[in-house]
Structure 1
Amino acid sequence: MILPAAPASLIGPDGQPLFGRYAGQVDQFDWPRLASPYARNAVWRRFHHKRWHYIALGTERIFCAVAIVDVGWTSTAFAYAFDRDDGDMLANFSQDGLPGLSATLADNAAGASRFKTRRSDIAIDSPEPGRYRLALRCDYLEIDAEFGPGTAPLLLACGAAAKGSVHATQKSTAMPVTGQVRTFRDEYDLAGGVASFDYSNGLLARETAWRWASGHNLEVGFNLQAGYFGANENALWLDGQLHALGPAHFLYDNSDPLSRWHIFTEDDQLELYFTPEGARRENKNLVVAASRYLQPIGTFSGWVRTAPDAPKRMVNQLVGVTEDHSSRW
């Protein structure tokens, strides 16, 4: 199913959220306008409003991911650079910010997000419609990247959040990227690679968990999630068009996360096997909050299709990530 165009707002005149999957962009996530049963008071929203801005950059030689996260009462950021030739994690930066000071999160996917401390400076912005920039300076890693415009529409998804209220996400598939990644070992040219982003904004439960998979090139891309958001954001980009996918299943040995993953959707439109090349792991326990995070980097092979009776399109060594994440935030 090809997705309908995005609405001007995710909240209707009656205060009800416009649940669904759409192609396009929305400018505002105006959760204070929500009406019952999704409305929450200002204090609840202060501690349950979660936003993150995530960028992925991939070439044949290197894969990088950068995220700025605002959890309502504090903030955090991470960045890593992974050498795909030898499986080395060249840089693995993570830092918690000062509440209300270190992070500024955009109001939408085209806005500006920043995380700045004495040790680090990460800036994401969009200098013009459809074009994006990432500038990063932190320990052992510098990135200057520009990407877009893409040839396929953005995914906009809105739905109920398990044990929370409402969540929405705006995601891209692959866009051509230029720029450089600089590490202690070498400089990496991003030309010929691809970039993608994930901007998410919602009112989530204190205990939130999910599994996620994302892989993209200029012909095919997909986004899959199983957990607190159900199948709301599951989608396939193929030949410039955006299609809905059904609920996804992630099968892997969590005692050996670098073993092969098997991922498929219930609608018989996607079946992939993911072979990890390495992984970023981080576990935090801050008493009032905790996080268990695993993001393997690797390649997907298998097939996708736009309908259960459509021809299968083979996928061969498509670079991307999977994720297994649980948070008490």
Structure 2
Amino acid sequence: MSLPAAPASLLSADGQPLFGRYAGQVGHIDWSQLAAPFARGRLWRRFHHKRWHYVALCTEQIFCAVAIVDLGWTSTAFAYAFDRSDGDMLANFGQDGLPGLSARLADHAGASSSFKTRKSSIAIDSRDDGSYGLTLRCDYLEIDAEFGPGASPLLLATGPVAQGSVHATQKSSGLPLSGEVRTFREDYNLAGGVASFDYSNGLLARNTAWRWASAHNLEMGFNLQSGYFGGNENALWLDGQVHALAPVHFIYDSSDPLSQWHIFTEDDLLELYFTPEGARRDNKNLVVAASRYLQPIGTFTGWVRSAPDQPKRMVTQMMGVTEDHASRW
């Protein structure tokens, strides 16, 4: 079933959130006007308001991911470049920012985000013609990329969060890509590749965990998540439309995350096998916060369909990522 059009605002006139899944872009996201039972005090919102802007870039030769994260009380960013031909992680950048200074996160998916420290900078820019730009400068890695506009609408998903309040996310379909990635070893032309992005904005619980999968080409794509947001953001892009999917199951050996993953939805619209080629890991255990992060990079094979009475569409070696993430933030 295709999704209804996104509303102009996530809140109704009486401050109630408009929970659901929609197609298209929502405007400015402001949780300060939430009404009971979702309203929270200003100080609580300050420490529980989490936003992130994530971009993936994929060609036959290279896979890159870049993220800017605003945790409310501090910020962080990461980027990596993975050479698909030999499984080499060419760059793996991570940097914590100064509270209130380093990160500037967009208040909706159609705005721009940035991260800047003395030695590194990231800018994710939204343009008037519906396209986007990504510029990154850090040790051993530089990116100048342009992507979009896409032929399919964004997914907008919004819903409640246990032990938190509310959350909203916007995911893109596959977007045409151009530009260049420069590493210490080689330069990579991005022309003919595919980009996608994730913009998320919510009032989350102190302890938040999820498993996630995402992959796209220009004709097909999917976004799958189990954990803190339930099945709210599970979606399939097919034939220029975005379709809702049921809750998803991730079956894999957590002691050997580079073994094969089995992923399927409860509505019998998707069944995939994911074969990792490499992974980015980042585990932190601080006094006030902790994070266990694993993002395998690899390929998906299996099938999808938009409805039970539709024929299965084969997925063959589609490049993307899975993720197993738990945070105390």
Whether TM exceeds 0.5 here: the answer is: yes
Q: 1:144 is aligned with what amino acid?
A: D
CA contact (8 A) 1:225 1:233 kept: yes
What is aligned with 1:61? Answer: 61
Is residue 2:139 matched to residue 1:139? yes
SS in 2 for 1:128: coil
Q: What is the 5 A alignment of 1:196-215? A: 196-215=196-215
What is aligned with 1:48? Answer: 48
CA contact (8 A) 1:58 1:193 kept: yes
What is aligned with 2:225? Answer: 225
Aligned residues: 329
What is aligned with 1:308? Answer: 308
What is aligned with 1:327? Answer: 327
Higher alpha-carbon deviation: 119-128 or 291-300: 119-128
TM-score by length of structure 2 reads: 0.99
What is aligned with 1:19? Answer: 19
Aligned-pair CA distance for 1:284: 0.6
SS in 2 for 1:64: strand
SS in 1 for 2:185: coil
CA contact (8 A) 1:110 1:129 kept: no
Aligned-pair CA distance for 1:33: 0.8
Q: 1:8 is aligned with what amino acid?
A: A
Deviation string 1:211-263 (CA, Å, 9 cap, x unpaired) is: 00000001110000000000000000001111000000000000000000000
What is aligned with 1:289? Answer: 289
Aligned-pair CA distance for 1:129: 3.8
What is aligned with 1:156? Answer: 156
Q: 1:93 is aligned with what amino acid?
A: F
Deviation string 1:249-285 (CA, Å, 9 cap, x unpaired) is: 0000000000000000000000000000100000011
CA contact (8 A) 1:22 1:157 kept: yes
CA contact (8 A) 1:274 1:298 kept: yes
Partners in 2 of 1:126 and 1:104 — Cα distance? 14
Partners in 1 of 2:213 and 2:23 — Cα distance? 19
Partners in 2 of 1:210 and 1:16 — Cα distance? 26
Q: 2:40 is aligned with what amino acid?
A: R
CA contact (8 A) 1:298 1:320 kept: yes
SS in 2 for 1:151: coil
Partners in 2 of 1:77 and 1:293 — Cα distance? 13
Q: What is the 5 A alignment of 1:263-282? A: 263-282=263-282
CA contact (8 A) 1:146 1:178 kept: yes
Aligned-pair CA distance for 1:14: 1.3
Partners in 2 of 1:194 and 1:49 — Cα distance? 30
SS in 2 for 1:32: helix
Partners in 2 of 1:85 and 1:58 — Cα distance? 13
CA contact (8 A) 1:144 1:181 kept: yes
Q: Percent identity?
A: 79
SS in 2 for 1:43: helix
Deviation string 1:43-77 (CA, Å, 9 cap, x unpaired) is: 00000000000000000000000000000000000
Aligned-pair CA distance for 1:185: 0.4
Deviation >2 Å, runs of 4+: none
SS in 2 for 1:72: coil
SS in 1 for 2:7: coil
What is aligned with 1:34? Answer: 34
Is residue 2:71 matched to residue 1:71? yes
Partners in 2 of 1:76 and 1:260 — Cα distance? 30
SS in 2 for 1:44: helix
Is residue 2:317 matched to residue 1:317? yes
Higher alpha-carbon deviation: 104-113 or 195-204: 104-113
